[in-house]
Chain A
Amino acid sequence: MAEQIADRTTDHFGDHLAQAAELLAEYPVVDGHNDLPWALREQVGYDLDARDIATDQSAHLHTDIGRLRAGGVGAQFWSVYVRSDMAGEDAVSATLEQIDVVAELLDRYPADLRRALTADDMEAARTEGRIASLMGAEGGHSINNSLGTLRALHALGVRYMTLTHNDNIAWADSATDEPGVGGLSPFGHEVVREMNRTGMLVDLSHVAATTMRDALATSTAPVMFSHSSSRAICDHPRNVPDDVLAQLPANGGIAMATFVPKFVLPEAVEWTRAADRNMRDRGLHHLDTTAQAMKIHAEFEAAHPRPMATVATIADHLDHMREVAGIDHIGIGGDYDGTAFLPSGLEDVAGYPNLIAELLGRGWSAADLAKLTWRNAVRVLRDAEAVARDLQTRRGPSHATIQELDARAS
């Protein structure tokens, strides 16, 4: 009897998988966050011959073109992340290098990747059957407290900036650091206003809940969470609290659920805490993904079996986020190549159809899923463009400095 039920479930899942592929062919996935550029930097020093993503790279990367295609990805925000401990030294130049490697990827694979700077570009890419390639910076340390640098990143094609990474910066608090300025400083508010004016999306993943609320209060454009899930389902500071999710309808923004097990599965949160402690005890950075670091991780895992997240875990988050924020304000941000582990069924960028099939099994309609995968993210970028056009008729570029604004406040 039990076997029969299992079989029937499998059959349904098979049907759903076929249906998911059909849906994704029409409304492919816009993914909010993929760390391929950083992986290319760390693994091969940007030697793209050594990691030809036109060929199968499953031995080294979560991402290659074949698997993006299999996963039904139609648009990708490539993260031009740099480590926050580079702040003030070479964070800006490293960000420029990250932007440069995305440009080189576009030059190398023009049949599959298409530069996208606007919502129209995204739609054009979908029509052409190419993957719209956008860029997002991960952390305010990439602009070195300079609004001119922010505008330069926008001119180079960066379309969102996460306000912080794992550490506080001078003008914004991170989710994974002690309270600093208590959200956004006055200069932090000015950064948000200038992002609205230039048309760069304000990304609130990684930031403290206080920063989320401050940014939502100031931003006149829709905001995004490029890779964050629900705190009600898994109480981790990287996730979004319900009161913030509830503000998204009024703001028009989007929360893109991430797959990282240590953020989405409560059992994995505790396990990861122990694993990170183990890494630091061995004198390594806990986010290190070099061969040596991965070996130490593997040893730890052999001794302490890792709790497994599944497709259902992510679907639980999306069900809840949909409940609180509404169907028009959710999306997907896998964080591939930015995390060591992933849920079963979502091991690489080919996995999105499994998630869609799971949601079909939970009764999500085709129209709902089109919003989740494609339409919401495109709408958010389009609305941000409209806000920018409007603001530009009324305001010139801001030349405020952090010294001016934050000295006055303190």
Chain B
Amino acid sequence: MADLQDHVDTATAIGQLDAEYAQISAPARPSPVPHPDAPAPPDPLARARALLAAHPVVDGFNGLAHAVRSIPWCDLELGERSLDTDVPRLRAGRVGAQFWSLQVPADHAGDRAVSATLDRIDQVRALVAAYPEALRPAHGVGEMTDARNCGRVAALLGPVSGHALADSLGTLRAYHALGVRSITLTGTSWTGRGGGLTRFGQEVVREMNRLGILVDLTGASPDTMRRALAVAKAPVIFSHSAAHELTDHPSNVPDDVLRMLRSNNGLCMVGFAADQVAREGTASLREVADHLEHVREVAGPDCVGLGAGYDTGATHADGLTDVSRYPQLIAELLERDWSESDVAALTWGNAARVMREAEFASRAAQLRRAPSTATIGELDR
């Protein structure tokens, strides 16, 4: 029920219809000519905070689960300066939902990759259990919204590394049962061949759609991105990618893929890592805003989101050094004349819509398809 009560101003699952309706009814709105006696508009940062209070940030990627193990002891509620993420700064940053990365090193294979992933899941569960006043587990958009309404940061599990599936759809379903909601398509034999996605790879995407796990294309090869977008029956995401057109980085998304994202109704969550957003040697909050504007222009305002990538060991753009800084970024966008509805879509609305659509597609698929028992041996021989 909660996801029905949570209506976001902009897009809904049936976005086309609403857009037409909006065109018919929109001209009634007067153009914003300020009255001479009107009070001075509040400064952009205050406006950003006010907006974020209603539409907090859904962030696609955070490496805290692993980073927290690299220090001997910490209290996230009190604040932990050696990390990018802690509870006071999540609150200052107006974060409403966070995907916690469960990725494991690319050189882990077989049991080592699987049990390391299960360890990560265990770590996040322990972390969420340890800070019940701050974090609340969420397995879908309904619980995510509930958490926001209770003033908690919704904790979502993902992404898992593609190679941690160990080429097994049963393992994929076990991750889903443990709460995982996004998985990357990287580092596997079924993404490296077959024009980006082998027959087994396509079956993995279909099974993820059936389960309601988001396909995360960050880090995938452009071929894999295109094949996955062609196969997917639900919106896909990039959990932390910027625009390849502006910065030539392997994790960034080419424009043709961003255009495909528009028809897929998916989401590019822009990352803040310095080497992903740097332009002519500078990487600051402004460059991140440039990337957001580019993605919005090419993929559309319904397909852009945030996936900062904190606590991954990467250096972040100046001015966006930790999770408390999202309001500063939003202020910059407001100064660049982003409408409030575009900002609300960027921070919360788009991610909520993508998750809702993925859940809907999953429910529909489960009526038609039984769990897949395909094996890589059968399909990719």
Contact = CB atoms under 8 A, between A and B. Distances in A.
Contacts of B178: 152, 155-156
A152 B123 CA distance: 10
Given A146-B119, A151-B122, A152-B178, A91 B111 contact: yes
Nearest to B110: A89
B114 A92 contact: yes
A103 interface: yes
Contacts of B168: 90, 93-94, 96-97
B91 to A, nearest CB: 25
A148 B370 CA distance: 30
Nearest to A86: B111
Contacts of B114: 92-93, 96, 144, 149
Nearest to B123: A148
A243 to B, nearest CB: 35
Nearest to B371: A104
A46 interface: yes
B282 interface: no
A125 interface: no
A214 interface: no
Nearest to B176: A100
A45 interface: yes
Interface in B95-138: 110-112, 114-116, 118-123, 125-126
B122 A96 contact: no
Nearest to A152: B118
Nearest to A93: B166
A312 interface: no
A96 B120 CA distance: 16
A100 B177 CA distance: 9
Interface residues of A, number: 32
B19 interface: no
Nearest to B130: A396
Contacts of B120: 148
Question: In the complex, which range does the number of interface residues on chain B fall in?
Answer: 20 to 34
Contacts of A91: 111
A103 B373 contact: no
B119 A149 contact: yes
Nearest to B374: A45
Nearest to A157: B177
Nearest to B375: A45
A91 B370 CA distance: 25
Contacts of A99: 170, 174
B170 A152 contact: no
B3 to A, nearest CB: 24
Interface in A27-51: 45-48
A96 B123 contact: no
Contacts of A180: none
A101 interface: yes
A330 interface: no
A116 B174 CA distance: 17
A96 B174 contact: yes
B170 A46 contact: yes
A143 B115 contact: yes
- Interface of chain A: mostly helix, strand, loop or mixed: helix
B177 A93 contact: no
B173 A92 contact: no
B171 interface: yes
B119 A148 contact: yes
Interface string A229-265: 0000000000000000000000000000000000000
A93 B112 contact: no
Contacts of A48: 370
B373 A46 contact: yes
Contacts of A88: 110-112
B177 A144 contact: no
A45 B115 contact: no
A97 B371 CA distance: 12
Contacts of B373: 45-47
In this complex, the member of A88, A144, A145 whose beta carbon has the largest number of chain B beta carbons within 10 angstroms is A144
A45 B120 CA distance: 29
A149 B118 contact: yes
In this complex, the member of B110, B123, B126, B375 whose beta carbon has the largest number of chain A beta carbons within 10 angstroms is B110
A397 interface: yes
A108 B168 CA distance: 21
Interface in A108-159: 143-146, 148-149, 151-152, 155-156
Contact of B115 (A92, A97, A104, A397): A92
Interface in A65-99: 87-94, 96-99
A397 B111 contact: no
B335 to A, nearest CB: 45
A146 B108 CA distance: 14
A93 B171 contact: yes
A31 to B, nearest CB: 24
A103 B123 CA distance: 24
Contacts of A146: 115-116, 118-119
B130 to A, nearest CB: 9
Contacts of A156: 174, 177-178
B111 A152 contact: no
Contacts of B173: 96, 100, 103
B143 to A, nearest CB: 17
A89 B110 CA distance: 5
Contacts of B371: 100, 104
Contacts of A100: 170-171, 173-174, 177, 371
Given A46-B170, A100-B371, A144 B112 contact: yes
Given A93-B166, A93-B171, A100-B173, A149 B115 contact: yes
Contact of A148 (B118, B170, B174): B118
A161 to B, nearest CB: 14
A93 B170 contact: yes
In this complex, the member of A46, A91, A92, A97 whose beta carbon has the largest number of chain B beta carbons within 10 angstroms is A92
Contact of B170 (A96, A151, A397): A96
Which 3 A-B residue pairings sit nearest by Cβ, starting from the closest? Answer: A97-B170, A148-B119, A96-B174
Interface of A: 45-48, 87-94, 96-101, 103-104, 143-146, 148-149, 151-152, 155-156, 396-397
9 contacts: A45-B375, A47-B373, A87-B111, A93-B170, A97-B170, A100-B174, A104-B370, A146-B119, A396-B126
Given A89-B110, A90-B111, A99-B170, 20 more contacts: A46-B170, A46-B373, A47-B373, A90-B166, A92-B166, A96-B114, A97-B168, A97-B174, A100-B174, A143-B115, A144-B115, A146-B118, A146-B119, A148-B119, A149-B114, A149-B115, A149-B122, A152-B121, A396-B126, A397-B122
